[in-house]
Amino acid sequence: MAKIDFGGVSEEVITSDEFSLEKAREVLKNEVVAVIGYGVQGPGQALNMRDNGINVIVGQREGGKSWDRAVADGFVPGKTLFPIEEAAKKGTIIQYLLSDAGQVSSWPKLKACLNPGDALYFSHGFGIVYKDQTGIIPPKNVDVILVAPKGSGRTVRTNFLDGSGINSSFAVYRDFTGRAKERTVATGIAIGSGYLFSTTFEKEVHSDLTGERGVLMGCLAGVMEAQYNLLRKHGHSPSEAFNETVEELTQSLIRLVAENGMDWMFGNCSTTAQRGALDWSPKFRDAVIPLFDELYESVISGKETKRVLEVNSAADYREKLQEELDVIKNSEMWKAGAAVRALRPERR
């Protein structure tokens, strides 16, 4: 492990310099990695491992869109693509990458397919940490491990293809074989992680659920909508309101933050923008602290997971989800966004 200083706090991380792809291949040479689920995380992780020379098979329900997508991506029915239970029986590292609700409904059948010494792999601590709600309690004769990419499944793949990789956390919940950590890190390198940092199943799910509902998605969407609506209320055009709220952030400023940090982005803006950002960022921080406290407590208490399982397990879940997404899509703000994106020079 490499010891890195994170703002005065020392932390050990694993990079491909310490644990090379060649070493990962050696660790995994006798393993069959069964990727169960080909929806969000499954494609990126499966394709990256296949490209890296790992023995990968996919388990997916036959006849659906995800099965067809796996076929289109080159997985061959009967050779590298199987129904879920058959793939799970063939695998020695079983990557359980169905949705959280899907994991709950499929768990009894999946559990019956596990063999002694297998590794049960997650990319989210949800099922294990909230076992009282999910019922996911692995047998004691398997390793239980986690590699959680810090990004969408699509980004796992695109970052791999452009050579940058995506950072991932890793954890070992149970080490039955004595090789659990080695298997975890090897798989993390094989899926294309930029670097790996240690966590626990509990910390992963607590931070992940907070982040998704907070800065990464929920907070971002809510703040954007609030500013857009404010500008429109005061007579600004949809184009002006959207550009000042979303386009400048996503096409310019956030790229500067990614490149060298928030201070560097501030330092490369106008002096007027600098002054406003420095004066107002503490006010926004202080205003949302109570909301984040409420959010974190809701995560820790299990309220958020209960909500997820109740809603996402409903028979009409997909129809209702699409209705909610359509409300966003059909709002003036995001219709303006579609028009602005169509006008970008590279799209002409």
Q: What are phi and psi of 283, to 5 degrees?
A: -70, -40
Q: With contact defined as beta carbons under 8 Å apart, do 225 and 245 qualify?
A: no
Give the other-Cβ count within 10 Å of 228's Cβ: 23
Return the C-alpha torsion angle 40, 41, 42, 44, nearest 10.
110
SS3 91: coil
- Give me the amino acid identity at 165: G
Q: Is 206 a catalytic residue?
A: no
Sheet strand arrangement including 193-198? 2-6, 9-14, 193-198, 166-174, 143-149, 119-122, 93-96, 33-36, 56-59, 81-82
99, 100, 125, 153 from 103: Cα distances, Å: 6, 5, 12, 17
Write out the two tokens for 311: 């809603």
Q: For residue 155, what is the enclosing H or E element?
A: helix 153-161
Which residues have a catalytic role annotated? 124
